[in-house]
Amino acid sequence: MKLFKTSIGFLVEENGILLNPMLDIDWDELINRDNLHSFLKDSLSDQKVGQVRISDFEILKPVGSQEVWAAGVTYYSSRLARMEESKDSGGGDFYSRVYVADRPEIFFKATSSRTVGPGEPFRIRNDSTWDVPEPELTLCVTSSGKIVGYTIGNDVSSRSIEGENPLYLPQAKTFDACACLGPCLYVTENPLSEETSIKMEIIRGSELVFDGQTSLKEMKRKPQELVNYLLRETSFPQGVFLMTGTGIVPGTDFSLKLGDLVQITIDPIGTLSNTVGA
């Protein structure tokens, strides 16, 4: 089922039917439940939400007070891209080594205030010359470390800054409106299939300037493995969102521009659409 956070409250879409769970609870408390799937099932109203579609509502980002973290170099294509961007600084070897290391690369990405939702503009840094979106399956994780839902993430990145020196990673990754999440939480009892596809299109004006596709079977590390490392010595009382890395990397001849529309699709979650803003 799909759980939407909207301007009028929480809505659930199941089998194409929009339902109101009628919950008197805040978002943080709701999604930090290890039994989220069964809780929503038990809370669903028998009444449909009129003759409307989810697109008739203002959909908000599916994050409350949670932090957003991210994993890097979890796909082979990402390893190659990071090695290429860092070769002049001598940092390429770090990315090659972390791909095969026991410990994954995990870093802080954004607070809720630096995260935007569906249809909202995101930013690229003014002091960067090479910027890309990074489409990523994003995990909704409870404070106990259980994955209870999935959403779509865009880990907006400055490749010019990160490529100059790997120690500049925090500046390349974290800034105002640097992360996109949405459009919903896909809540399921079972993990997503490894055949799950991730697609990204970038539209400039009316022209498709980039499209790419990968699948979860190309990801080197399992989602729960990444969660286990993240929670080893760090607690998240309200839960946490974890981006799991990208397997779609635009070439060295591509950089985002103001007004570009980025559309990321992960079935069965949906499509997250955002535009580069000022």
Amino acid at 209: V
Q: How many residues does the chain have?
A: 278
Which domains are present in the chain? 2-56 (no CATH), 67-275 (3.90.850.10)
**pLDDT at position 52, please?**
80
Residue-wise pLDDT for 29-61, tens only, equals 999 999 999 999 998 866 666 668 899 999 999
Q: Is the pLDDT of residue 111 over 70?
A: yes
What is the overall mean pLDDT for the chain? Answer: 93
CA-nearest of 21, 9, 105 to 58 is 9
Query: Which tokens hold the place of 248?
Result: 């779609």
Backbone φ, ψ for residue 34 (5° rounding): -65, -25
Q: What percent of the chain has pLDDT over 90?
A: 79
Calpha distance 98→68 (Å, rounded): 21
Mean pLDDT of 164-192: 97
Task: Tell me the whole-structure pTM to 2 decimals.
Answer: 0.93
Question: What pLDDT is stored for residue 15 in this prediction?
Answer: 87
52 versus 214: which is more confidently predicted?
Answer: 214
Q: For residue 177, give the DSSP letter.
A: T
Pairwise CA distance, residues 200 & 248, whole Å = 8
Q: Assign 20 a pLDDT band (cuts: 50, 70, 90).
A: confident
pLDDT band at 82 (very low <50, low <70, confident <90, very high): low
Task: Say yes or no to pLDDT of 65 above 80.
Answer: yes
> Taking 90 as the threshold, does the pLDDT of residue 107 lie above it?
yes
